[in-house]
Amino acid sequence: MASRALSFGVMAEAYERFRPGYPTELYDMVRAYAGRPLRTALEIGAGTGKATRLFAGQGVEVTATEPDAQMLAELRRHVPANVRAVRAAFEDLRPGPERYGLVCAAAALHWTDPEGRWPRVAGLLEPGGVFASFGGQVHLADPALEAAVRAARAPLLESDEVPSPDGTPADRAMQWPGTELMASAWFTDVRQELIGRTLTMTAPDYVGHLGTVSAYLVLPDDVREEVFARIARVLPPTVELTSDITVHLARRNEEEGHVE
C-alpha cells in the first residue's frame, strides 16, 4: 500500500485533468451536518485540490496538506487565495494551538498510517468540530462493458480496486472509515451518506483516468501500456460511468482529552 500511496506525483497533471471534482451538494451535506458555519478546515492529502476548491469557494479558510511536491505544485496553480498550501504528510501533523472546525480527506484517508489516526484527527479539531471523509471509485455503468474490461486486463492486472483498510466486506452496511469512527472514543454521531453521480467520458479520457489509479501506476511501464491497449480495444467511443461519492461524517466529542 505504501508504494501505491506515493505513486501519484508523477501523474499530477493527469490527475488534475482526468479525476472528477466534487459537487456543491457535498459542501451542503457537510455544512448541514455541522449545524454551524464552516470557517476553517484542514484537508489531509489534498492532491491537486479538487475538494479544496469546493470548500474554499464557499468561503472556508482551508489549510491544504499534501506530502507530494508535484501534487502540491499542481494544487497551488488552481486554488484561490484563501487556501494555505502546506507540504506535509498526515503523520507529520501535530496538535497545536490552532484547531479547525473541519478536518477532511478526499479519497486520501486510506493512504494514512492507522497508528494513532483518530487521536491525531481529534487533536486537530475544535471540540464539537466535524471530520469528513469522502470519495469513491469510478466504474463503467454498463455491467457487460465492465466485465469485458476486467477480462481484457486480467492476464496482466487482476484487480484495480483499493481494498478496505480494515477488511470490512463490501456488502456491510457501514463501510470504512465509519467502522473505525464508531469504535473510537474520540468521535460521536457517525453517519454514512451517498451522493449518486454519473459521468460521461470519451474512451481516451477514461483510459487517461485509469492512468491516475494507483493499481496501474505501480505497474512497469511496458505492462501498464499493454494493459491500457487491451482495455482501449474493448471500449466504445464514449462511456457512461458511475462515480458515486460515499461520505463519512463524525463529530469530535465535546469533552477535551489528552492527545499525543
Q: Would you state the pLDDT for residue 10?
A: 59
Chain segment 138-191, per-residue pLDDT in tens: 999 999 999 999 999 999 999 999 889 999 999 999 999 999 999 999 999 999
For 196-206, b/e burial (b = at least 16 CB within 10 A) is ebeeebebeeb
Whether 196 shows a pLDDT value over 70: the answer reads yes
Q: What is the Cα–Cα distance from 118 to 93, expressed in whole angstroms?
A: 12
Q: Which CATH superfamily is domain 2-136+165-199+243-252 in?
A: Vaccinia Virus protein VP39 (3.40.50.150)
Nearest-angstrom CA–CA distance, 178 and 201: 31
pTM: 0.92
Per-residue pLDDT of 70-124, as tens digits, reads 999 999 999 998 999 999 999 999 888 899 999 999 999 999 999 999 999 999 9
Residue 3 pLDDT exceeds 80: no
Rounded mean pLDDT of 51-64? 98
Query: Do 254 and 154 contact (CB within 8 A), yes or no?
Result: no
Residue 244 has pLDDT above 60, yes or no: yes
User: Does residue 250 surpass a pLDDT of 60?
Assistant: yes
